[in-house]
Amino acid sequence: MQAHPNNLSAPSAAEDSAAYVSSSLDDTLSSLTANKNVLGYLLLTRSSEPGPVGIIRMSGAIFDGDKGKKYAGVVSRMVQSVQGGLDDVQVEDESDDLRFLRIRTRRYEIMITPSTNHILAVLHDPGSS
């Protein structure tokens, strides 16, 4: 197995890409799911080309079935939209990349961390104690 940027492992053709992440990322994802306020997470592919986003891994009943696909598409579009806004206001020789996006609604909080090739989105219930 070859090392892949952003702490992910690139699976060989015989391996299932949804199952392979580095041990440090796997530990982080396990820690997230252990938190009782975390409703779930999505680990997504990220591409500069528009099109369907790939779900590498997900956890949480809130993302079961078609809801996971819907959330994945919405998260991807949010990242693209905010990055596009940053690109629109940048000065000629400066560039700025979205590093973290946090959105709070009446019921939930979603934290999104995009990297070059992947997006991690965590859905959190801020009202739980």
pLDDT tens digit string along 86-117?
888 887 777 788 999 999 999 999 999 998 88
User: What 3-state DSSP class applies to 20?
Assistant: coil
Q: What amino acid is encoded at 116 in this protein?
A: T
Which tokens hold the place of 111? 């934290």
Q: What amino acid is encoded at 119 in this protein?
A: I
45 or 47: which leads in pLDDT: 45
Q: What pLDDT, on a 0 to 100 scale, did the predictor assign at position 96? A: 82
Q: Is the pLDDT of residue 51 over 90?
A: no
**Quick check: 69 and 39 in contact, CB under 8 A?**
no
Q: What is the pTM of this model?
A: 0.76
Alpha carbon distance, N-terminus to C-terminus of the chain: 41
23 or 80: which leads in pLDDT: 80
What is the mean predicted confidence (pLDDT) over 30-56? 86
User: What 3-state DSSP class applies to 67?
Assistant: helix
Q: Is the pLDDT of residue 124 over 50?
A: yes
What is the mean predicted confidence (pLDDT) over 6-35? 61
Strands (E), the chain: 2-4, 8-10, 38-45, 55-59, 101-104, 109-114, 118-124
Q: Which CATH number is 37-124 given?
A: 3.30.450.30
